[in-house]
Chain A
Protein backbone atom coordinates (compact mmCIF):
# COMPACT_ATOMS: atom_id res chain seq x y z
CA UNK A 1 0.00 0.00 0.00
CA UNK A 2 1.20 3.47 -0.86
CA UNK A 3 2.42 5.64 2.00
CA UNK A 4 -0.26 7.88 3.45
CA UNK A 5 2.04 10.88 3.41
CA UNK A 6 4.63 11.98 0.88
CA UNK A 7 8.20 12.35 2.08
CA UNK A 8 8.02 16.12 1.81
CA UNK A 9 5.64 18.95 1.14
CA UNK A 10 6.28 21.99 -1.02
CA UNK A 11 6.02 25.49 0.34
CA UNK A 12 2.64 26.11 -1.25
CA UNK A 13 1.08 23.10 0.47
CA UNK A 14 2.50 24.16 3.83
CA UNK A 15 1.26 27.70 3.31
CA UNK A 16 -2.21 26.38 2.44
CA UNK A 17 -2.35 24.34 5.64
CA UNK A 18 -1.18 27.30 7.70
CA UNK A 19 -3.93 29.38 6.13
CA UNK A 20 -6.48 26.68 6.97
CA UNK A 21 -5.27 26.60 10.57
CA UNK A 22 -5.68 30.39 10.71
CA UNK A 23 -9.26 30.04 9.46
CA UNK A 24 -9.90 27.33 12.06
CA UNK A 25 -8.69 29.67 14.80
CA UNK A 26 -10.91 32.49 13.52
CA UNK A 27 -13.87 30.09 13.52
CA UNK A 28 -13.08 29.10 17.11
CA UNK A 29 -13.09 32.76 18.20
CA UNK A 30 -16.33 33.48 16.33
CA UNK A 31 -18.11 30.48 17.81
CA UNK A 32 -16.97 31.21 21.36
CA UNK A 33 -18.03 34.83 20.92
CA UNK A 34 -21.55 33.77 19.99
CA UNK A 35 -21.79 31.01 22.60
CA UNK A 36 -20.48 33.33 25.34
CA UNK A 37 -18.93 30.21 26.81
CA UNK A 38 -16.45 27.49 26.05
CA UNK A 39 -12.76 26.77 26.20
CA UNK A 40 -10.29 28.92 24.29
CA UNK A 41 -6.70 28.17 25.19
CA UNK A 42 -6.77 24.46 24.37
CA UNK A 43 -8.46 24.66 20.95
CA UNK A 44 -5.98 27.33 19.89
CA UNK A 45 -2.96 25.30 21.01
CA UNK A 46 -4.30 22.26 19.12
CA UNK A 47 -5.42 23.99 15.90
CA UNK A 48 -2.31 23.38 13.80
CA UNK A 49 -2.14 19.69 14.70
CA UNK A 50 -5.87 19.19 14.11
CA UNK A 51 -5.55 20.87 10.72
CA UNK A 52 -2.63 18.67 9.71
CA UNK A 53 -4.49 15.54 10.80
CA UNK A 54 -7.79 16.30 9.08
CA UNK A 55 -6.36 17.81 5.89
CA UNK A 56 -3.32 15.62 5.24
CA UNK A 57 -2.94 12.64 7.54
CA UNK A 58 -6.21 10.92 8.38
CA UNK A 59 -7.67 8.54 5.82
CA UNK A 60 -11.25 9.78 6.02
CA UNK A 61 -14.30 10.52 3.90
CA UNK A 62 -16.08 13.64 5.17
CA UNK A 63 -19.10 12.78 3.00
CA UNK A 64 -19.17 9.27 4.50
CA UNK A 65 -18.22 10.02 8.11
CA UNK A 66 -18.84 6.51 9.43
CA UNK A 67 -16.92 4.74 6.64
CA UNK A 68 -15.84 1.54 8.47
CA UNK A 69 -12.24 1.62 7.24
CA UNK A 70 -11.58 5.25 8.15
CA UNK A 71 -8.78 6.21 10.47
CA UNK A 72 -10.13 7.00 13.92
CA UNK A 73 -9.48 10.23 15.81
CA UNK A 74 -10.46 10.67 19.45
CA UNK A 75 -10.19 14.07 21.08
CA UNK A 76 -9.39 12.82 24.56
CA UNK A 77 -8.98 16.45 25.70
CA UNK A 78 -12.66 16.90 24.94
CA UNK A 79 -12.79 20.45 26.25
CA UNK A 80 -11.11 21.51 23.01
CA UNK A 81 -14.30 20.47 21.19
CA UNK A 82 -14.76 23.73 19.31
CA UNK A 83 -11.29 23.31 17.81
CA UNK A 84 -12.29 19.88 16.50
CA UNK A 85 -15.67 21.12 15.22
CA UNK A 86 -14.04 24.05 13.44
CA UNK A 87 -11.47 21.79 11.79
CA UNK A 88 -14.16 19.34 10.72
CA UNK A 89 -16.31 22.16 9.38
CA UNK A 90 -13.52 23.52 7.21
CA UNK A 91 -12.85 19.95 6.06
CA UNK A 92 -16.47 19.57 4.94
CA UNK A 93 -18.12 17.50 7.66
CA UNK A 94 -20.58 20.25 8.53
CA UNK A 95 -21.40 23.79 7.35
CA UNK A 96 -19.00 26.39 8.74
CA UNK A 97 -22.04 28.48 9.75
CA UNK A 98 -23.20 25.65 12.02
CA UNK A 99 -20.22 26.42 14.26
CA UNK A 100 -22.24 29.37 15.56
CA UNK A 101 -24.65 26.89 17.20
CA UNK A 102 -21.84 25.63 19.45
CA UNK A 103 -23.06 24.90 22.98
CA UNK A 104 -26.67 25.86 22.18
CA UNK A 105 -29.57 23.56 22.98
CA UNK A 106 -30.38 21.08 20.20
CA UNK A 107 -26.99 21.73 18.59
CA UNK A 108 -24.98 18.85 17.22
CA UNK A 109 -22.01 20.74 18.59
CA UNK A 110 -22.21 20.04 22.30
CA UNK A 111 -19.84 21.57 24.81
CA UNK A 112 -17.84 18.36 24.66
CA UNK A 113 -17.79 16.03 21.62
CA UNK A 114 -20.85 13.79 21.39
CA UNK A 115 -20.73 11.00 18.83
CA UNK A 116 -24.44 10.25 18.83
CA UNK A 117 -25.18 13.78 17.59
CA UNK A 118 -22.45 14.57 15.10
CA UNK A 119 -21.39 11.89 12.61
CA UNK A 120 -17.63 11.94 12.30
CA UNK A 121 -17.00 12.16 16.03
CA UNK A 122 -15.45 8.78 16.73
CA UNK A 123 -15.98 8.83 20.50
CA UNK A 124 -17.79 11.00 23.00
CA UNK A 125 -15.33 12.52 25.42
CA UNK A 126 -15.11 15.22 28.04
CA UNK A 127 -14.36 13.31 31.20
CA UNK A 128 -10.58 13.38 30.99
CA UNK A 129 -8.38 10.35 30.54
CA UNK A 130 -10.93 8.23 28.71
CA UNK A 131 -10.33 8.94 25.05
CA UNK A 132 -7.01 7.14 24.96
CA UNK A 133 -8.69 3.95 26.21
CA UNK A 134 -11.35 4.15 23.51
CA UNK A 135 -8.69 4.76 20.87
CA UNK A 136 -6.81 1.74 22.17
CA UNK A 137 -9.96 -0.33 21.71
CA UNK A 138 -10.26 0.93 18.14
CA UNK A 139 -6.64 -0.04 17.44
CA UNK A 140 -7.26 -3.49 18.92
CA UNK A 141 -10.44 -3.78 16.85
CA UNK A 142 -8.51 -2.97 13.69
CA UNK A 143 -5.92 -5.61 14.44
CA UNK A 144 -8.47 -8.30 15.33
CA UNK A 145 -10.34 -7.70 12.07
CA UNK A 146 -7.13 -7.40 10.03
CA UNK A 147 -7.91 -3.86 8.98
CA UNK A 148 -5.23 -1.27 8.38
CA UNK A 149 -6.88 1.81 9.79
CA UNK A 150 -5.04 3.75 12.48
CA UNK A 151 -6.30 5.13 15.78
CA UNK A 152 -5.18 8.58 16.95
CA UNK A 153 -5.92 10.19 20.29
CA UNK A 154 -5.07 13.75 21.30
CA UNK A 155 -4.47 14.31 25.01
CA UNK A 156 -3.71 17.37 27.05
CA UNK A 157 -0.61 17.53 29.22
CA UNK A 158 -2.81 18.31 32.20
CA UNK A 159 -4.96 15.33 31.24
CA UNK A 160 -1.93 13.11 31.77
CA UNK A 161 -2.58 13.53 35.50
CA UNK A 162 -5.53 11.13 35.12
CA UNK A 163 -4.68 7.60 36.24
CA UNK A 164 -6.58 6.03 33.35
CA UNK A 165 -4.06 7.50 30.91
CA UNK A 166 -1.37 5.35 32.46
CA UNK A 167 -3.60 2.29 32.62
CA UNK A 168 -4.01 2.67 28.88
CA UNK A 169 -0.30 3.34 28.39
CA UNK A 170 0.47 0.11 30.22
CA UNK A 171 -2.05 -1.99 28.33
CA UNK A 172 -1.42 -0.57 24.84
CA UNK A 173 2.30 -1.25 25.13
CA UNK A 174 1.58 -4.77 26.40
CA UNK A 175 -0.57 -5.36 23.31
CA UNK A 176 2.12 -3.88 21.03
CA UNK A 177 -0.38 -1.60 19.33
CA UNK A 178 1.75 0.01 16.65
CA UNK A 179 -1.42 1.28 14.99
CA UNK A 180 -2.12 3.61 17.93
CA UNK A 181 -0.75 7.15 17.97
CA UNK A 182 -1.17 9.46 20.94
CA UNK A 183 -0.49 13.15 20.53
CA UNK A 184 0.02 15.06 23.76
CA UNK A 185 -0.72 18.76 23.29
CA UNK A 186 1.85 19.99 25.81
CA UNK A 187 0.81 23.60 26.19
CA UNK A 188 2.24 23.72 29.71
CA UNK A 189 -0.82 25.23 31.37
CA UNK A 190 -3.93 23.95 33.02
CA UNK A 191 -6.97 25.51 34.63
CA UNK A 192 -5.74 26.16 38.15
CA UNK A 193 -2.62 24.18 38.95
CA UNK A 194 -0.46 24.47 42.02
CA UNK A 195 0.49 27.58 43.91
CA UNK A 196 4.25 27.36 44.05
CA UNK A 197 5.28 30.91 44.89
CA UNK A 198 3.03 32.61 47.39
CA UNK A 199 4.63 35.98 46.78
CA UNK A 200 4.90 35.67 43.01
CA UNK A 201 2.96 37.90 40.63
CA UNK A 202 0.79 35.10 39.23
CA UNK A 203 -0.04 31.53 39.95
CA UNK A 204 2.26 28.97 38.41
CA UNK A 205 -0.17 26.65 36.72
CA UNK A 206 2.19 24.37 34.92
CA UNK A 207 1.47 20.66 35.07
CA UNK A 208 3.88 18.81 37.33
CA UNK A 209 6.23 17.81 34.56
CA UNK A 210 9.64 19.35 34.20
CA UNK A 211 10.80 19.71 30.59
CA UNK A 212 11.23 16.26 29.06
CA UNK A 213 9.63 14.47 31.98
CA UNK A 214 6.41 13.72 30.14
CA UNK A 215 8.38 12.05 27.34
CA UNK A 216 10.30 10.02 29.90
CA UNK A 217 7.06 8.78 31.42
CA UNK A 218 5.68 7.53 28.10
CA UNK A 219 9.03 5.96 27.26
CA UNK A 220 9.09 4.19 30.62
CA UNK A 221 5.73 2.64 29.79
CA UNK A 222 7.21 1.10 26.65
CA UNK A 223 6.12 3.63 24.06
CA UNK A 224 8.12 5.08 21.23
CA UNK A 225 8.27 8.82 21.87
CA UNK A 226 8.62 11.53 19.23
CA UNK A 227 8.94 15.25 19.90
CA UNK A 228 7.51 17.90 17.68
CA UNK A 229 6.81 21.62 17.46
CA UNK A 230 3.03 21.68 17.50
CA UNK A 231 2.92 24.99 15.63
CA UNK A 232 5.41 24.18 12.85
CA UNK A 233 3.34 22.63 10.07
CA UNK A 234 6.33 21.08 8.37
CA UNK A 235 7.51 19.48 11.62
CA UNK A 236 3.98 18.29 12.45
CA UNK A 237 3.68 16.49 9.12
CA UNK A 238 7.18 15.02 9.29
CA UNK A 239 6.59 13.72 12.81
CA UNK A 240 3.18 12.26 12.03
CA UNK A 241 4.67 10.64 8.94
CA UNK A 242 7.36 9.06 11.06
CA UNK A 243 4.75 7.87 13.55
CA UNK A 244 2.68 6.03 10.97
CA UNK A 245 5.18 5.00 8.31
CA UNK A 246 7.97 3.62 10.50
CA UNK A 247 6.32 1.40 13.07
CA UNK A 248 8.28 -0.84 15.41
CA UNK A 249 5.65 -2.85 17.34
CA UNK A 250 5.29 -0.13 19.92
CA UNK A 251 2.55 2.48 20.21
CA UNK A 252 3.78 5.99 19.54
CA UNK A 253 3.42 9.05 21.74
CA UNK A 254 4.13 12.40 20.12
CA UNK A 255 4.87 15.12 22.63
CA UNK A 256 3.88 18.33 20.88
CA UNK A 257 5.29 21.55 22.24
CA UNK A 258 2.56 24.16 21.96
CA UNK A 259 1.48 27.53 23.30
CA UNK A 260 -1.87 27.74 25.03
CA UNK A 261 -3.97 30.40 23.33
CA UNK A 262 -1.70 30.36 20.28
CA UNK A 263 -2.42 33.14 17.77
CA UNK A 264 -4.19 35.58 20.08
CA UNK A 265 -1.70 37.96 21.66
CA UNK A 266 -3.25 38.40 25.07
CA UNK A 267 -4.26 34.72 25.47
CA UNK A 268 -0.89 33.18 24.75
CA UNK A 269 0.57 31.52 27.84
CA UNK A 270 -2.09 33.09 30.07
CA UNK A 271 -3.84 30.36 32.03
CA UNK A 272 -6.87 32.54 32.74
CA UNK A 273 -7.90 32.04 29.09
CA UNK A 274 -8.45 28.32 29.63
CA UNK A 275 -12.14 29.15 29.54
CA UNK A 276 -13.59 32.65 29.68
CA UNK A 277 -16.18 34.70 27.77
CA UNK A 278 -14.90 37.38 25.38
CA UNK A 279 -15.69 41.06 25.84
CA UNK A 280 -16.36 43.04 22.61
CA UNK A 281 -12.84 44.46 22.89
CA UNK A 282 -11.34 40.99 23.43
CA UNK A 283 -13.20 39.74 20.41
CA UNK A 284 -12.01 42.55 18.14
CA UNK A 285 -8.42 42.16 19.28
CA UNK A 286 -8.50 38.39 18.78
CA UNK A 287 -9.79 38.74 15.23
CA UNK A 288 -7.21 41.42 14.47
CA UNK A 289 -4.44 39.23 15.87
CA UNK A 290 -5.58 36.41 13.61
CA UNK A 291 -5.71 38.75 10.62
CA UNK A 292 -9.40 38.23 10.11
CA UNK A 293 -10.85 40.48 7.41
CA UNK A 294 -14.03 42.37 8.14
CA UNK A 295 -15.91 39.86 5.95
CA UNK A 296 -15.21 37.19 8.55
CA UNK A 297 -16.63 39.15 11.46
CA UNK A 298 -19.93 37.93 12.81
CA UNK A 299 -21.57 39.44 15.86
Chain B
Protein backbone atom coordinates (compact mmCIF):
# COMPACT_ATOMS: atom_id res chain seq x y z
CA UNK B 1 0.00 0.00 0.00
CA UNK B 2 1.32 3.40 -0.96
CA UNK B 3 2.49 5.58 1.89
CA UNK B 4 1.32 9.15 1.78
CA UNK B 5 3.09 11.89 3.72
CA UNK B 6 1.18 13.23 6.72
CA UNK B 7 -0.15 16.71 6.27
CA UNK B 8 -0.78 19.41 8.83
CA UNK B 9 -4.11 19.08 10.62
CA UNK B 10 -6.78 21.03 8.75
CA UNK B 11 -7.78 22.95 11.89
CA UNK B 12 -4.19 24.17 12.13
CA UNK B 13 -4.41 25.23 8.49
CA UNK B 14 -7.56 27.16 9.35
CA UNK B 15 -5.87 29.21 12.06
CA UNK B 16 -2.77 29.92 10.01
CA UNK B 17 -4.52 30.74 6.75
CA UNK B 18 -7.16 32.99 8.25
CA UNK B 19 -4.47 34.84 10.22
CA UNK B 20 -2.48 35.27 7.01
CA UNK B 21 -5.56 36.43 5.12
CA UNK B 22 -6.24 38.94 7.88
CA UNK B 23 -2.70 40.29 7.50
CA UNK B 24 -3.53 41.40 3.99
CA UNK B 25 -7.25 42.16 4.21
CA UNK B 26 -8.74 44.30 6.98
CA UNK B 27 -12.21 42.91 6.19
CA UNK B 28 -11.34 39.45 7.55
CA UNK B 29 -12.74 38.75 11.04
CA UNK B 30 -13.35 35.62 13.09
CA UNK B 31 -16.34 34.87 15.30
CA UNK B 32 -15.66 32.13 17.81
CA UNK B 33 -17.94 30.00 19.97
CA UNK B 34 -15.56 29.52 22.89
CA UNK B 35 -13.48 26.86 21.16
CA UNK B 36 -10.62 28.89 19.64
CA UNK B 37 -8.02 26.72 21.34
CA UNK B 38 -9.58 23.69 19.64
CA UNK B 39 -10.21 25.16 16.19
CA UNK B 40 -6.89 27.05 16.25
CA UNK B 41 -8.69 30.35 15.78
CA UNK B 42 -6.45 31.35 18.70
CA UNK B 43 -3.76 31.92 16.07
CA UNK B 44 -5.95 34.70 14.70
CA UNK B 45 -6.61 36.08 18.16
CA UNK B 46 -2.87 36.33 18.76
CA UNK B 47 -2.15 38.00 15.41
CA UNK B 48 -5.20 40.25 15.21
CA UNK B 49 -6.90 40.54 18.61
CA UNK B 50 -9.17 43.35 17.40
CA UNK B 51 -10.61 41.17 14.67
CA UNK B 52 -11.20 38.11 16.81
CA UNK B 53 -14.75 38.32 18.17
CA UNK B 54 -15.55 35.97 21.03
CA UNK B 55 -19.27 35.18 21.02
CA UNK B 56 -19.32 32.73 23.92
CA UNK B 57 -21.23 29.48 24.00
CA UNK B 58 -24.15 30.84 22.01
CA UNK B 59 -23.95 29.60 18.44
CA UNK B 60 -27.35 30.74 17.22
CA UNK B 61 -26.41 34.30 18.04
CA UNK B 62 -22.92 33.80 16.62
CA UNK B 63 -24.19 32.84 13.17
CA UNK B 64 -26.61 35.77 13.25
CA UNK B 65 -23.84 38.16 14.25
CA UNK B 66 -21.76 36.82 11.36
CA UNK B 67 -24.59 37.66 8.95
CA UNK B 68 -24.85 41.17 10.38
CA UNK B 69 -21.09 41.72 10.19
CA UNK B 70 -21.12 40.65 6.55
CA UNK B 71 -23.73 43.29 5.66
CA UNK B 72 -21.30 45.98 6.82
CA UNK B 73 -18.63 44.80 4.38
CA UNK B 74 -16.63 42.52 6.65
CA UNK B 75 -15.81 38.87 5.86
CA UNK B 76 -16.51 36.71 8.92
CA UNK B 77 -15.05 33.24 9.32
CA UNK B 78 -16.93 31.09 11.83
CA UNK B 79 -14.87 29.14 14.36
CA UNK B 80 -16.63 26.25 16.06
CA UNK B 81 -17.23 22.52 15.62
CA UNK B 82 -19.26 21.17 12.70
CA UNK B 83 -21.97 20.12 15.15
CA UNK B 84 -22.36 23.68 16.42
CA UNK B 85 -21.96 25.46 13.09
CA UNK B 86 -24.38 23.39 11.03
CA UNK B 87 -26.94 21.67 13.18
CA UNK B 88 -27.35 23.75 16.33
CA UNK B 89 -27.79 27.07 14.46
CA UNK B 90 -29.33 25.55 11.34
CA UNK B 91 -32.22 27.99 11.11
CA UNK B 92 -29.88 30.98 11.47
CA UNK B 93 -27.72 29.57 8.68
CA UNK B 94 -30.82 29.07 6.54
CA UNK B 95 -32.61 32.37 7.09
CA UNK B 96 -29.82 34.85 7.75
CA UNK B 97 -26.97 33.43 5.66
CA UNK B 98 -28.17 31.13 2.86
CA UNK B 99 -31.38 32.98 2.05
CA UNK B 100 -29.67 36.37 2.09
CA UNK B 101 -26.52 35.21 0.28
CA UNK B 102 -24.48 36.63 3.15
CA UNK B 103 -20.73 36.74 2.67
CA UNK B 104 -20.12 34.45 5.63
CA UNK B 105 -17.56 31.65 5.67
CA UNK B 106 -18.79 28.73 7.77
CA UNK B 107 -15.51 26.97 8.41
CA UNK B 108 -15.83 24.62 11.38
CA UNK B 109 -13.44 21.84 12.22
CA UNK B 110 -14.10 18.56 14.03
CA UNK B 111 -15.76 17.17 10.91
CA UNK B 112 -16.53 13.47 10.70
CA UNK B 113 -15.21 10.93 13.18
CA UNK B 114 -12.10 12.73 14.45
CA UNK B 115 -13.57 14.65 17.35
CA UNK B 116 -11.43 13.44 20.25
CA UNK B 117 -13.66 10.64 21.48
CA UNK B 118 -16.75 12.73 22.02
CA UNK B 119 -19.55 10.46 20.86
CA UNK B 120 -22.63 10.97 18.78
CA UNK B 121 -23.60 14.41 20.08
CA UNK B 122 -20.43 15.84 18.53
CA UNK B 123 -19.94 13.55 15.53
CA UNK B 124 -22.02 14.87 12.66
CA UNK B 125 -22.30 12.67 9.60
CA UNK B 126 -25.04 14.51 7.74
CA UNK B 127 -23.57 18.01 7.46
CA UNK B 128 -22.84 17.68 3.75
CA UNK B 129 -26.41 16.59 3.08
CA UNK B 130 -27.83 19.46 5.10
CA UNK B 131 -25.62 22.15 3.63
CA UNK B 132 -25.88 20.83 0.08
CA UNK B 133 -29.64 21.15 0.29
CA UNK B 134 -29.46 24.93 0.83
CA UNK B 135 -29.84 27.05 -2.30
CA UNK B 136 -26.88 29.38 -2.70
CA UNK B 137 -24.51 27.58 -0.35
CA UNK B 138 -21.08 26.46 -1.60
CA UNK B 139 -20.05 23.18 0.05
CA UNK B 140 -16.42 22.07 0.14
CA UNK B 141 -14.83 19.04 1.83
CA UNK B 142 -11.04 19.30 1.31
CA UNK B 143 -8.96 16.13 1.00
CA UNK B 144 -5.93 17.37 2.90
CA UNK B 145 -4.10 20.38 4.25
CA UNK B 146 -3.10 21.65 0.81
CA UNK B 147 -6.65 21.63 -0.45
CA UNK B 148 -7.93 23.08 2.83
CA UNK B 149 -5.65 26.08 2.40
CA UNK B 150 -6.73 26.49 -1.20
CA UNK B 151 -10.40 26.24 -0.27
CA UNK B 152 -10.08 28.80 2.54
CA UNK B 153 -8.24 31.25 0.30
CA UNK B 154 -10.81 30.71 -2.44
CA UNK B 155 -13.65 31.26 0.04
CA UNK B 156 -12.16 34.57 1.18
CA UNK B 157 -12.22 36.05 -2.32
CA UNK B 158 -15.64 34.60 -3.25
CA UNK B 159 -18.64 36.80 -2.51
CA UNK B 160 -21.28 34.65 -0.82
CA UNK B 161 -21.84 31.92 1.75
CA UNK B 162 -19.34 29.05 1.80
CA UNK B 163 -19.19 25.95 3.96
CA UNK B 164 -15.76 24.34 4.36
CA UNK B 165 -15.69 21.10 6.32
CA UNK B 166 -12.40 20.80 8.20
CA UNK B 167 -10.91 17.94 10.21
CA UNK B 168 -9.41 18.09 13.69
CA UNK B 169 -6.42 15.76 13.39
CA UNK B 170 -3.56 15.39 10.93
CA UNK B 171 -4.44 13.31 7.89
CA UNK B 172 -2.38 12.10 4.92
CA UNK B 173 -1.50 14.59 2.21
CA UNK B 174 -2.71 13.95 -1.32
CA UNK B 175 -1.81 17.11 -3.22
CA UNK B 176 1.46 18.88 -3.95
CA UNK B 177 1.82 21.96 -1.74
CA UNK B 178 0.87 25.13 -3.57
CA UNK B 179 -1.66 23.44 -5.85
CA UNK B 180 -4.33 26.03 -6.67
CA UNK B 181 -7.87 25.19 -5.61
CA UNK B 182 -10.45 24.98 -8.35
CA UNK B 183 -14.09 25.23 -7.38
CA UNK B 184 -16.57 22.73 -8.79
CA UNK B 185 -14.23 20.23 -10.42
CA UNK B 186 -13.38 16.67 -9.53
CA UNK B 187 -9.77 15.50 -9.43
CA UNK B 188 -8.87 12.13 -10.94
CA UNK B 189 -6.13 10.93 -8.60
CA UNK B 190 -5.62 7.51 -10.12
CA UNK B 191 -6.61 6.08 -13.46
CA UNK B 192 -8.34 2.72 -13.60
CA UNK B 193 -10.83 0.80 -15.72
CA UNK B 194 -12.58 -1.77 -13.52
CA UNK B 195 -14.42 0.53 -11.14
CA UNK B 196 -14.51 4.22 -10.19
CA UNK B 197 -14.13 5.01 -6.51
CA UNK B 198 -15.53 8.46 -5.73
CA UNK B 199 -14.77 10.05 -2.40
CA UNK B 200 -14.71 13.41 -0.69
CA UNK B 201 -12.95 15.10 2.21
CA UNK B 202 -10.21 13.34 4.10
CA UNK B 203 -11.66 9.97 3.15
CA UNK B 204 -9.94 10.44 -0.21
CA UNK B 205 -6.38 9.53 0.93
CA UNK B 206 -7.75 6.36 2.52
CA UNK B 207 -9.48 5.49 -0.75
CA UNK B 208 -6.26 6.07 -2.68
CA UNK B 209 -4.56 3.61 -0.37
CA UNK B 210 -7.46 1.19 -0.78
CA UNK B 211 -6.96 1.34 -4.54
CA UNK B 212 -3.41 0.10 -4.03
CA UNK B 213 -4.67 -2.84 -2.01
CA UNK B 214 -7.22 -3.58 -4.72
CA UNK B 215 -4.48 -3.49 -7.37
CA UNK B 216 -2.72 -6.25 -5.47
CA UNK B 217 -5.91 -8.29 -5.95
CA UNK B 218 -6.01 -7.49 -9.64
CA UNK B 219 -8.70 -4.80 -9.44
CA UNK B 220 -7.87 -1.69 -11.46
CA UNK B 221 -9.69 1.09 -9.63
CA UNK B 222 -9.98 4.70 -10.72
CA UNK B 223 -9.99 7.18 -7.83
CA UNK B 224 -11.91 10.41 -8.26
CA UNK B 225 -11.88 13.03 -5.54
CA UNK B 226 -14.98 15.26 -5.32
CA UNK B 227 -13.99 18.24 -3.17
CA UNK B 228 -17.00 20.38 -4.00
CA UNK B 229 -20.40 18.94 -3.18
CA UNK B 230 -21.91 22.17 -4.42
CA UNK B 231 -21.49 23.28 -7.13
CA UNK B 232 -21.22 19.68 -8.27
CA UNK B 233 -19.04 18.65 -11.24
CA UNK B 234 -21.75 16.80 -13.13
CA UNK B 235 -19.54 16.16 -16.17
CA UNK B 236 -16.73 14.85 -13.99
CA UNK B 237 -19.07 12.41 -12.27
CA UNK B 238 -20.59 11.28 -15.56
CA UNK B 239 -17.07 10.73 -16.94
CA UNK B 240 -16.21 8.67 -13.87
CA UNK B 241 -19.05 6.32 -14.79
CA UNK B 242 -17.24 5.32 -17.99
CA UNK B 243 -15.75 2.38 -16.06
CA UNK B 244 -19.29 1.02 -15.89
CA UNK B 245 -19.26 0.71 -12.11
CA UNK B 246 -19.23 3.43 -9.47
CA UNK B 247 -18.74 3.18 -5.71
CA UNK B 248 -18.87 6.22 -3.43
CA UNK B 249 -17.02 6.20 -0.13
CA UNK B 250 -17.50 8.98 2.42
CA UNK B 251 -16.94 9.67 6.11
CA UNK B 252 -20.57 10.77 6.15
CA UNK B 253 -24.03 9.31 5.80
CA UNK B 254 -24.80 7.63 2.48
CA UNK B 255 -28.02 9.65 2.49
CA UNK B 256 -27.82 13.02 0.82
CA UNK B 257 -24.06 13.55 0.80
CA UNK B 258 -21.63 12.38 -1.86
CA UNK B 259 -23.45 9.07 -2.39
CA UNK B 260 -26.76 10.85 -2.69
CA UNK B 261 -25.37 13.47 -5.06
CA UNK B 262 -23.73 10.88 -7.31
CA UNK B 263 -26.93 8.82 -7.34
CA UNK B 264 -28.86 11.88 -8.50
CA UNK B 265 -26.38 12.69 -11.25
CA UNK B 266 -26.00 9.15 -12.59
CA UNK B 267 -29.70 8.35 -12.57
CA UNK B 268 -30.41 11.49 -14.58
CA UNK B 269 -27.43 11.51 -16.93
CA UNK B 270 -25.89 8.06 -17.15
CA UNK B 271 -27.60 5.23 -15.28
CA UNK B 272 -24.78 3.14 -13.84
CA UNK B 273 -24.56 0.52 -11.13
CA UNK B 274 -23.76 2.41 -7.94
CA UNK B 275 -22.84 1.32 -4.42
CA UNK B 276 -22.59 3.79 -1.55
CA UNK B 277 -20.23 3.18 1.36
CA UNK B 278 -20.31 5.26 4.51
CA UNK B 279 -22.72 5.60 7.42
CA UNK B 280 -25.70 3.40 6.61
CA UNK B 281 -28.38 5.50 8.32
CA UNK B 282 -26.89 5.05 11.81
CA UNK B 283 -25.58 7.34 14.52
CA UNK B 284 -21.90 7.02 15.39
CA UNK B 285 -20.40 6.32 18.80
CA UNK B 286 -17.26 7.41 20.64
CA UNK B 287 -13.85 5.82 20.26
CA UNK B 288 -10.35 6.43 18.98
CA UNK B 289 -9.91 7.61 15.41
CA UNK B 290 -8.54 4.30 14.24
CA UNK B 291 -11.18 2.23 16.02
CA UNK B 292 -13.97 4.34 14.57
CA UNK B 293 -12.62 4.24 11.02
CA UNK B 294 -12.43 0.47 11.36
CA UNK B 295 -15.87 0.16 12.94
CA UNK B 296 -17.53 2.09 10.11
CA UNK B 297 -15.52 0.47 7.33
CA UNK B 298 -13.51 3.51 6.33
CA UNK B 299 -9.90 2.27 6.70
CA UNK B 300 -8.04 1.46 3.46
CA UNK B 301 -8.26 -2.27 4.25
CA UNK B 302 -11.98 -2.13 5.02
CA UNK B 303 -12.70 -0.02 1.95
CA UNK B 304 -10.75 -2.42 -0.26
CA UNK B 305 -12.57 -5.42 1.20
CA UNK B 306 -15.99 -3.85 0.74
CA UNK B 307 -15.22 -2.79 -2.83
CA UNK B 308 -13.98 -6.27 -3.70
CA UNK B 309 -17.08 -7.78 -2.14
CA UNK B 310 -19.42 -5.40 -3.98
CA UNK B 311 -17.70 -6.16 -7.28
CA UNK B 312 -18.38 -9.85 -6.75
CA UNK B 313 -22.12 -9.23 -6.27
A interface list, Cβ under 8 A from B: 68, 72, 74, 114-116, 122-127, 129-130, 132-142, 144-145, 147, 151, 163-164, 167-168, 170-171, 174-175
Contacts and interface: CB of A to CB of B under 8 A. Distances in A.
Given A140-B53, A145-B74, A170-B58, A124 B65 contact: no
Contact of B100 (A123, A129, A136, A147): A123
Contacts of A74: 68
A141 to B, nearest CB: 3
Given A139-B68, A164-B58, 15 more contacts: A72-B71, A123-B67, A124-B100, A127-B91, A133-B60, A133-B62, A134-B68, A136-B64, A137-B65, A137-B68, A137-B70, A144-B69, A164-B64, A170-B56, A170-B61
A142 B72 contact: yes
Interface string B70-81: 111110100000
A116 B63 CA distance: 19
A134 B99 contact: no
B61 A168 contact: yes
A146 to B, nearest CB: 11
A71 to B, nearest CB: 12
Which residue of B71, B95, B99 has the most chain A CB atoms within 10 A of its CB atom?
Answer: B71
Contacts of A163: 60
Interface residues of B, number: 32
Please name the 5 residue pairs, one residue from A and one from B, whose CB atoms are nearest each other, closest first: A137-B68, A133-B64, A141-B72, A167-B58, A167-B61
Contacts of A141: 68-69, 71-74
Contacts of A68: 72-73
Nearest to A129: B60
Nearest to B50: A144
A134 B71 contact: yes
B254 interface: no
A72 B51 CA distance: 21
B87 to A, nearest CB: 15
Given A144-B50, A168-B64, A134 B74 contact: no
B29 interface: yes
B101 interface: yes
A136 to B, nearest CB: 5
Interface string B83-124: 000000001101110011100000000000000000000000
> Which of B29, B56, B61 has the largest number of chain A CB atoms within 10 A?
B61
A171 B61 contact: yes
B63 to A, nearest CB: 8
Q: Most chain-B Cβ atoms within 10 A of its Cβ — which of A116, A135, A164? A: A164
Nearest to A66: B71
